[in-house]
Amino acid sequence: MTELFDTVLNPSDTPMDRAALAAAMADCDVLVPTLTDHLDAALLEAASERLQMIANFGNGVDHIDLAAARRKGIIVTNTPGVLTDDTADMEMALIIAVPRRLAEGERTLRAGEWQGWSPSGLLGHRIGGKRLGIIGMGRIGQAVALRAAPFGLSVSYHNRHRLPESVERATHATWMESLDELLATSDFVSINCPLNDESRGMIDARRIGLLKPNAYLINTSRAEVCDEDALIEALETGRIGGAGLDVYAHEPAVNPRLLSLANVVLKPHMGSATIEGRDATGEKVIANIRTWVDGHRPRDQVLEGLF
């Protein structure tokens, strides 16, 4: 970026506060935020007329008020596709780790509490022969489905629209029109839908109550899709088998009740954290900016119909 443009960088990984974001938007043509930079309507409406483009570093754009950007005439781009495999790999890791109690085993070993092999020590559940229900069958959902089949998992999915038959065959996935039915019949439930007005709070207490007693919930998408308090209650009471989580309602804070649970594998929002993925994301950001600078519509423009 510094070779191509007159660039001002945030020198650390520390999120910019509102004052810093407002100052940046007052003095730039293009802003490159990450998911920790919350661009709400008030910030965007107060932005300088000079700001023409928000080239998001990442795929999710729920931290940007898209309607406000549209009103302001600001182009918003993202970086779809580059983190698909990384996130799907992490999901499969959680799908294996939770029922096989890998985190519990490591904690036992590190604490010096392991007494050696025993017939009933840390017994978990196999995943072969079980059913995986995927909520949101976009790029990541499809990548998870492709990884699940070799492990002996059958796959169902719920999506706003049914996928073409060719995609269902390729991913070995069966569409379920009813989300409630998918939840009630799955042994593993993987949340892969984006966060928006429709999906926010979609997995509420009622729907968590539909899960099987030995079901496992996996979430590497956005915490706000699921009612975190209702999930914790289900985990504490043994209503469901466990959970694998990479996202939390009040990041970076994690609910202490989650931290105390043995039947949960917790990861610090690292589903996309690979060097290759970060490099590829940066390349897409630069490509989007260069396309706009050259007077063309960026390939990854999020808002349609602006120009």
Residues 6+ apart with CB under 8 A from 171: 137, 142, 145, 146, 149, 155, 163
For residue 222, indicate whether it is catalytic.
yes
**How many CB atoms lie under 10 A from the CB of residue 79?**
22
d(CA 84, CA 45): 33
Count other Cβ atoms within 10 Å, centred on residue 189: 28
Measured in residues, the chain has a length of 307
264-266/242-245 β-pairing: parallel
CA neighbor of 88 nearest in space, from 128, 129, 133, 145: 145
Q: Which residues 6+ apart lie within 8 Å of 28 measured at CB?
A: 8, 50, 51
Residue 192 burial by Cβ neighbours in a 10 Å radius (0-12, 13-18, 19+): buried
DSSP structural state of residue 210: T
Residue 263: strand, helix, or coil: coil
- Catalytic (active site) residue 269: yes
* Catalytic entry in 251, 283, 290, 299: 251
Say which of 162, 172, 239, 269 is annotated catalytic: 269
Residue 91 annotated among the catalytic residues of the structure: no
**Pairwise CA distance, residues 269 & 286, whole Å:** 24
Q: Which residues are part of the catalytic machinery?
A: 222, 251, 269
